[in-house]
Amino acid sequence: MSRLKTILIVDFDTRWEINLEQLLNRLGYNAFTVTSGVEGLDEILRVFKPEMILLDLRLPILNGVACIEKIRREKAFDRISVVLVSDAGDKDVLSNALERGAQAYLFKPLNPTELYKTIHRLIEPHARQFLRLRTVLKVVMTFGLMTRQLYTSTISEQGMFLRTRNPLPVGSNIKLWFEFPLTNGIEVNAEVMHEIKADRDAYTASGMGVYFTKISHADRQEIRKFVESELVYEMTGIFSGDE
């Protein structure tokens, strides 16, 4: 099993750090926090070897831009992607930080989808554009004259993975119906993109990945809203769109 990628969070707001750490864990990353900007930072980076740092601009001792300059003086840290985080009012300073060695910046409150896309663009070899959620949803699948009830293991705006002992052949065209709480249900057309056979040695379950080929804009937005709300559940006030 491959090692989870590690992301370091540097922020003086402990509540913010805890919630962001929890979200990154839900997204499949190993996250840890530092509540000050500079104390022991070099040693922390050498020990934990993060792929990315999410760095608050307004640190109390040494601000985020100064921290970037400190990090970039060490060639051993060249591989680490640095993303600055601050309020929209700091846009000019954040833009300048890109010239100092930051790879990107994000505004508070964070949007989970934008955070996910930024992480994938910078540290994942095969970047995803759509936020994925691990969840179990009941799905009614229609294939020709056959109707089956299946369950998801993941879902995104782009598609889902359906668990089944008898996956359909790649290229099969199907119709899917599913619903979220307080919705009227979503119906889409989809195509089987890949199938997986169960492998006890590799601890993989059988199933098939499907790609939505026909879905309304409203339904796509409904999926995004559900995925984001589930990922930031009980994290009030930290991310944009949570209430």
CATH 3.40.920.10 for domain 133-231, yes or no, is: no
Distance CA 155, CA 139 (A): 11
Could you read off the pLDDT of 40-65 as tens digits, one per residue?
A: 788 888 888 999 999 888 877 677 88
- Cα 73 versus chain centre, distance: 30
The residue type at 89: G
CA–CA distance, 93 with 55 (Å, rounded to integer): 14
Closest CA to 132 of 50, 3, 226, 205: 226
- Paired residues of 190 in beta bridges: 174, 212
Domain ranges of the chain: 6-123, 133-231
CB 122 within 8 A of CB 104: yes
What are the tokens at 2?
Answer: 């491959």
Mean model confidence pLDDT for the chain: 87
Domain 6-123: CATH class, spelled out: alpha beta
pLDDT of residue 204: 66
Write out residues in the chain with pLDDT < 70, as ranges: 1-2, 36-39, 61, 198-204, 234, 236-243
Residue (of 181, 54, 170, 43) closest to 108 by Cα position? 54
Question: Within 13 Å of residue 192, how many CA atoms lie on the same side as its CB?
Answer: 20
The model scores a pTM over 0.75: yes
Positive or negative torsion for Cα 168, 151, 183, 147? positive
